[in-house]
C-alpha cells in the first residue's frame, strides 16, 4: 500500500493501478472495455485523478492477491463484481475483509477453486446484503458447503449460489449419519466421532478437528507426521465399511499424516510402496494396510468363501431334513 498513490490518484484509480500491475483486469462504470496488461506487460491507465471515474468490476482470478493487498481496495463504493477464482492466497481472513469493504455495493462474487477458504470464511460473507450471485465451483473440500450455501441464501435476500453439488452433499450427509449410527462409533462432548475397536481403543473418524492440510505455496507439505497408530482389532470387512463412511480418514490416520489436498491418493501411494517393500523382505502385511487393488481382491475372495460356506451349510441342512423325513416315514 502506497499512501501517496491514493492521495494523487484517488481510491478507484489507485486501486486500478495496483490491480492491473499485478495481472488483474478492471472495468470502469459506463465503460465496456476491460483494462489489463498486453502481451508486452503494458497497460493504459490515467496518471492523475479523474473526477467521476469509478471501478465497477474487478477480475483478479488466478492472481496472487493477498489479504494485505485488500488495503488498496478501500472506498470502492461502485464495485459490483469481484472475481477471485483460482486465487491461491484467498482465505478466510480475506472473506471477512471483503464482507466489510463491499457490504453496500457488491452484487457478484466468484470464489471458484479457492482452496484455502473454509466454511467459516464463507459464513463471513453474510454481511454482503446486496450480493445476488455467488459462484463456488471446485469448493468440494469445504465441509458442509451445501449447508453454508443454504444459510447464505436465507440470510441474504435474492442471493443465488452456483456451483454447489447438492446431490453429493446429500450423499455425504447420509454417509455421516450412517457412520454415527454405527454401534462402534462413539462421540465426545465436542462432537468428535471415534471408532472403538474390540480392545476398547478409539480412532478418530469425524468431527471438529481442523482437517485443512498445512502446505506451502506449491502445495507441498510443510510437515508430515510419521507417527503410526496400531491397527484396530475388528473384521476387515467391517473396517473397510467404516473407512468408506469416514471418507478414508480411518485408514489415513493409521499411516501417519501425509499432507496435501489429495491426501487420500497419497495414502494409497504410501501403501503401494510399503506393500512392495515388505513383500521383498518377507514381512507379513495386514489386510487393512494393503493397497486398494489388493484390498478389493481380498474382499472378493472373502465374499466367495463366505458364500461357499453358506451354500455348504444349506446343503447340510437339506440332508438333515431329508434324514428326518425318512425317519418319520419309517
Each residue's pLDDT, cut to its tens digit, for the chain (330 residues) gives 677 777 788 899 999 999 999 999 999 998 889 999 988 888 888 888 888 899 999 999 999 999 999 999 999 999 999 999 999 899 999 999 999 999 999 999 999 999 889 888 999 999 999 999 999 998 887 878 888 998 999 999 999 999 988 887 788 888 888 999 999 999 988 888 999 999 999 988 887 665 555 555 555 555 555 556 788 999 988 998 998 888 888 888 777 654 444 456 677 888 888 889 988 999 888 888 888 888 766 656 555 554 554 455 555 554 455 445 444 444
Domain boundary among 256, 271, 289: 289
Domain boundary among 144, 164, 184: 164
CATH of the domain at 27: 3.80.10.10
- Coil vs helix vs strand at 314: helix
135 with 282, same domain: the answer is no
Residue 328 falls inside a structural domain = no
**Is-above-0.85 flag for pTM?**
no
158 with 226, same domain: the answer is no
CA atoms within 13 A on the CB side of 66: 3
Please state whether beta strands 185-187 and 160-162 pair in parallel, antiparallel, or not at all (unpaired).
unpaired
Q: Considering only CA atoms, which of 228, 224, 227, 186 is closest in space to residue 207? A: 186
83 with 122, same domain: the answer is yes
Residue 220 falls inside a structural domain = yes
Residue 239 falls inside a structural domain = yes
Domain boundary among 127, 147, 164: 164
Domain that holds residue 47: 3-164
160 with 27, same domain: the answer is yes
* CA–CA distances in Å: residue 151 to residues 60, 147, 217: 26, 6, 31
Number of domains into which the chain is organized: 2
Distance between CA 306 and CA 151 in Å, rounded?
48
Amino acid at each position: 500500500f502506497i499512501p501517496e498513490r491514493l492521495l494523487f490518484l484517488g481510491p478507484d484509480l489507485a486501486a486500478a493501478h495496483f490491480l492491473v500491475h499485478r495481472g488483474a483486469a478492471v472495468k470502469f462504470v459506463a465503460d465496456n472495455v476491460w483494462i489489463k496488461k498486453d502481451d508486452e506487460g503494458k497497460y493504459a491507465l490515467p496518471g492523475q485523478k479523474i473526477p467521476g471515474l469509478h471501478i465497477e468490476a474487478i477480475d483478479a482470478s488466478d492472481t496472487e492477491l493477498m489479504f494485505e493487498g485488500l488495503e488498496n481496495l478501500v472506498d470502492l463504493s461502485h464495485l459490483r463484481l469481484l472475481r477471485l477464482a483460482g486465487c491461491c492466497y484467498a482465505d478466510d481472513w480475506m472473506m471477512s475483509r471483503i464482507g466489510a469493504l463491499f457490504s453496500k455495493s457488491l452484487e457478484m462474487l466468484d470464489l471458484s477453486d479457492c482452496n484455502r477458504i473454509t466454511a467459516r470464511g464463507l459464513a463471513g460473507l453474510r454481511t454482503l446484503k446486496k450480493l445476488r450471485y455467488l459462484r463456488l465451483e471446485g469448493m468440494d473440500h469445504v465441509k458442509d458447503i451445501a449447508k453454508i450455501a443454504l444459510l447464505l441464501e436465507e440470510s441474504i435476500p435474492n442471493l443465488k449460489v452456483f456451483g454447489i453439488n447438492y446431490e453429493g452433499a446429500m450423499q455425504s450427509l447420509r454417509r455421516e449419519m450412517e457412520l454415527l449410527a454405527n454401534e462402534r462409533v462413539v462421540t465426545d462432548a465436542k462432537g468428535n466421532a471415534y471408532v472403538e475397536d474390540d480392545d476398547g481403543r478409539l480412532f478418530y473418524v469425524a468431527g471438529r478437528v481442523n482437517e485443512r492440510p498445512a502446505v506451502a505455496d506449491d502445495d507441498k507439505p510443510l510437515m508430515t507426521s510419521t507417527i503410526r497408530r496400531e491397527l484396530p482389532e475388528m473384521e476387515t470387512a467391517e473396517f473397510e465399511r467404516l473407512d468408506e463412511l469416514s471418507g478414508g480418514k480411518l485408514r489415513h490416520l493409521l499411516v501417519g499424516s501425509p499432507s496435501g489436498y489429495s491426501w487420500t491418493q497419497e495414502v494409497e501411494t504410501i501403501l503401494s510402496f510399503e506393500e512392495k517393500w515388505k513383500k521383498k523382505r518377507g514381512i507379513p502385511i495386514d489386510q487393512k494396510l494393503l493397497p486398494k487393488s489388493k484390498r478389493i481382491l481380498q474382499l472378493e475372495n472373502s465374499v466367495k468363501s463366505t458364500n461357499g460356506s453358506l451354500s455348504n451349510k444349506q446343503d447340510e441342512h437339506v440332508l438333515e431334513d431329508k434324514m428326518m423325513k425318512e425317519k418319520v416315514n419309517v
